[in-house]
Structure 1
């Protein structure tokens, strides 16, 4: 598995272009905006996009999903159906945050459930339903490569906000401790914003979910 990160939108959201080194087939994870920049990086890498993957329905992660999918004639996959209300409100989100690009409501081609898998070429990504930041948030994990795309669930030194509609702080903490930590300390994760980190680092030092907080 190979990947490159493209920061997009004024929120500097980490859009990932992920591809199988054998087949050169790629997925674009969380194309929140700046579609032309994403397309340019895809062209530079010489990969073939065959799907768009969404961790959740917030504008900075999903705002360019429809236009990217239309451009490459590929499906939008994810998140969990419980984020349908967020995706249906993408135009209102764009208006609120004064996004220049026109954004339409989005219905993914496929909703995802916990325990499912999605393919990127010959690679398999495990799907984990990790609510708390949003109710339908999912995480993608390449178990073999020891890499996870966690969206806005977990950050280096922090965790996602839970003050949005249907957010839940305690549920978010449970998602991290019960869904992510069992994957192993050696997992490197790509958050929705900011630098990458490892589960070991966050278990040791993250003030919200460090093991020391829970005895």
Structure 2
């Protein structure tokens, strides 16, 4: 499989497209710039199968409805944030963007627990990694050795926890128990900034030194 990082939206949040040899694809966190993302997908002749959301902050959901409706595909989100898509206060767009409110229709599938998620020929493990937000989840593809971590873990940093319902200690626990338990060669496809690996963060991330 191949994966592509696409910074999108008002603060250039990383969306990702994971594609297999049959040009089927999964889309992670389409944060904005819907027309450009849709054009890119069509130019690559990909057939999207679903949108997977690591969480529902505004910068991760801005193009959800455009992409969902264009390709007639379902959206997956953790149940803890089921109301966030339609509420600018919960998804924080009202606080960060002022009069520009970002919303989306409800998710088609709510994830309620850690599980193996099968979508077409794709299969991944859903890891609950709350702390940045209560419904933050990471999608781990074991054979591809990659985890899409959203805003839980960054290269040399971790997700912010000063927003409503953020929890710093819970985030550290999530990283320690769920992400640091993955093989060291696992690529971490972060919600912002460059990708990294579990091994690099284990050795050098200053926020994790005390774990």
TM-score exceeds 0.5: yes
Any idea what SS the aligned residue of 2:84 has? helix
Q: Is the Cα–Cα contact under 8 Å of residues 9 and 62 in structure 2 kept in the other structure?
A: no
**1:48 corresponds to 2:47:** yes
Give me the whole-angstrom Cα distance separating, in 2, the residues matched to 1:172 and 1:52.
Answer: 24
The alignment of Structure 1 onto Structure 2 pairs a total of residues equal to 210
- CA 1:2/1:33 → structure 2, altered by over 3 Å: closer, same or farther? same
Where does 1:41-190 land on structure 2 (aligned, <5 Å)?
A: 41-78=40-77, 80-90=78-88, 93-98=92-97, 103-190=102-189
SS in 2 for 1:190: strand
C-alpha deviation, 1:64, in angstroms? 1.4
Contact 1:188 1:197 in 2 (8 A): yes
Which deviates the most, 93-102 or 132-141? 93-102
TM score, norm. by length of structure 1: 0.90
Task: Give ranges in structure 1 of 5+ residues lacking alignment.
Answer: none
- Alignment RMSD: 1.9
Q: TM-score, normalised by structure 2?
A: 0.92
Measure, in 2, the Cα distance between the counterparts of 1:68 and 1:99: 24
Moved runs in structure 1, 4+ residues, more than 4 A?
Answer: 99-102
Relative to structure 1, is the Cα distance of residues 169 and 185 closer, same or farther in structure 2, using a 3 angstrom cutoff?
same
Hey, what does 1:25 align to over in structure 2?
A: 24
Question: Is the partner of 1:177 in helix, strand or coil?
Answer: helix
- CA distances 1:16-59 after superposition (whole Å, capped 9, x unpaired): 111122x3211110001100111121012111011111000101
More divergent stretch after superposition (85-94 vs 39-48): 85-94
Instruction: Quote the Cα distance in structure 2 between the aligned partners of 1:163 and 1:93.
Output: 12
Report the Cα distance in structure 1 between the residues aligned to 2:88 and 2:20, rounded to whole angstroms: 30
Counterpart-to-counterpart distance in 2, 1:163 and 1:114:
25
Q: CA deviation at 1:165?
A: 1.2
User: Shift of the alpha carbon at 1:102?
Assistant: 6.5
Give the corresponding residue for 1:13.
13
1:154-173 CA-partner distances (Å, limit 9, x unpaired):
00000001111111000000
Higher share of residues assigned helix: 1
